[in-house]
Every structure is written in structure tokens, then in C-alpha cells.
Amino acid sequence: MTKVMEGKTLAEISNHMDFIKSDPKYRHMGSWHYSTIPDGQTYEQAGTPEEGDIIGTIQRLISELESKNFTDEDELFALACLVHLIGDIHQPLHVGNGEDKGGNDVKLEYFWEDSNLHRVWDSGIINKQGLSFTEYTHWLMRTKTADKTAWQNSTVLDWANESKSHREQIYNLPERMNLTYRYNFDNIDLLNLRLQQAGVRLAGVLNKIYG
């Protein structure tokens, strides 16, 4: 599996965890993509599932990359997982309420096509900007130094709690469950913020590990 990733950029390995989901060998990693913190509860009150979650897994992967003692495969595999999961934890619906599978069960129309709330936040709003990924990335990189410092001086649990804090805004849905330009307009700033924070924090973690 490592050879599949050799010579690739961080961007190219970032979706590796999604590519291997259907392989029974990696089925135990399914719960690593998310955490469940119900409304009105803290992470500590909700408890960590026995099979693990995204918060604990990110913390473990950072520790393993620093110590070079790996639980699953090798350093490149651990790095691919870390890159992916830092992205996931900043997508607010990867910190779920425990009621709708992180918005996957919230069925709706997005620009007159059947979809669900999780998919809208995973890719729908991004794709509707009509930019190439390169153009979008260059625009997102315009981040103030002060913001970078503050964002990097935070914990994995802080990242999860931020995602949870945006829940009310994300679930502010029209009665007919048909999302179009208004929903995009109301939420694009939040989505861009989470993408920027994910990138800056990933850079900070990698600098700490390899710097």
C-alpha cells in the first residue's frame, strides 16, 4: 500500500483513507473519520467509543510520527491518515450530533438534485464556486500571520469543539429542504474559514513533527 503513495504530494495522498474504505483490511478505521458530541454535551461527557474516533486518532498519529513507532503499517501511511483526518475534523459535520450520521441522513435537494447535508459540506459548496482546485487553494492561502499563530496555538479538541459550535448555522435549513444560492451565500465564509484553518494547522503539525 505504501508503494501506491510513494512520490505523491500531500494533496495526492490526502484522500487515501477514503480510497481504502471498501477494503476489509481497513474496515476498523471507519470510526476514525468522525467524533460524536451530542447537543448539550461535552466531548468528555459523551465518551470515546471503544473503536476510537477522529480526535483520539489524530492525537495518536501525531505521537507515532514523532516517535516513529507505528500501529498501522508505516510512516507514509500514518502521514496520509493524518493529512486526511485533519481535513475531516474541520468539516463541521464530522463532529456529529449522534442523530443523523453527520448529516448523511438529512436528505435534501441541492440545486435541484438529490443530495444530503453531509455531501453539501464535503464537496457541494466547494464545487459550486466554479473554481479549479488550484485557483481555490491560492485564494485560501491569503491568511494573516496573526491568524496563523492563533490557529496553531490550539488543540485537537479545540478543533472539534469549533466544528460543533457551527452546528446551529449549518442546520438552519429551509422548510422545503431545497438548498440553492441563499444557503451557499450564508455559509461560504464559514466553509472557507474551516478550509484555511485546516491547512494552517496541518502545516503547524507537520512543522512540529519534521521541523
Count of Cβ atoms closer than 10 Å to residue 10 Cβ: 13
Residue 136 has pLDDT above 80, yes or no: yes
**Alpha-carbon 87 to chain mean position:** 3
Residue 1 has pLDDT above 60, yes or no: no
* Joined grid coordinates for residue 38: 451530542
**C-alpha triplet 44, 77, 197: angle, nearest 5°:** 55
At 142, the pLDDT band (50, 70, 90 cuts) reads confident
Query: Do 187 and 125 form a contact (C-beta atoms < 8 A)?
Result: yes
Domain 2-96 superfamily per CATH: P1 Nuclease (1.10.575.10)
φ/ψ of 135, rounded to 5, equals -60, -45
CATH 1.10.575.10 in the chain, residue ranges: 2-96, 107-210
Q: What is the pTM of this model?
A: 0.94
What digits encode the pLDDT tens for the residues 33-85?
A: 999 999 999 999 999 888 999 999 999 999 999 999 999 889 999 999 999 99
Which helix (H) or strand (E) covers residue 114, if one does? strand 113-116
Helical segments of 47-180, H only: 54-67, 75-90, 117-119, 125-127, 133-140, 145-152, 156-165, 167-170
Domain 107-210 superfamily per CATH: P1 Nuclease (1.10.575.10)
